[in-house]
Structures are given as structure tokens and as C-alpha cells.
Amino acid sequence: MAFDLIKECTLYAEKIFEGRKVLFNFTTNGTLLTKDKVDFLVQHGFTMLISLDGPEDV
């Protein structure tokens, strides 16, 4: 996950579209999310889709 790039793009989009509503979406299986990453995503209004892939017993 290139989270530094996600942060950079988010801040850039918010800057160039200042005063306008910008929507962000994020799809992940959740394995690399940390509290700091989730806090950033929530703070910037991301909508997250968590995929549940793999064997049913896992």
C-alpha cells in the first residue's frame, strides 16, 4: 500500500478544489490498515469498502 502517495494525493486534491466537496473512496482487504491510517481516512471523509476474500473458515 502506497499510503504516503494516498495522503499526498488527498491533500493535493483538497487544496486545488478548496471550497468544493471532494469525495474519496478506498477499497482494501484491511490487512495493512493501522489506527493512524484509518484516522487519516476518516478525517478526510473517505468511504471505505472492506473486501472479504479467501477461504470461509479464515
Residues 54 and 6: their CA atoms lie apart, in Å, by: 26
pTM of the model: 0.80
pLDDT attached to residue 33: 92
Of all residues in the chain, what percent carry a pLDDT higher than 70? 98
Residues 41 and 38: their CA atoms lie apart, in Å, by: 5
Name the DSSP letter for residue 32: T
Predicted confidence band of residue 54 (pLDDT cuts 50, 70, 90): confident
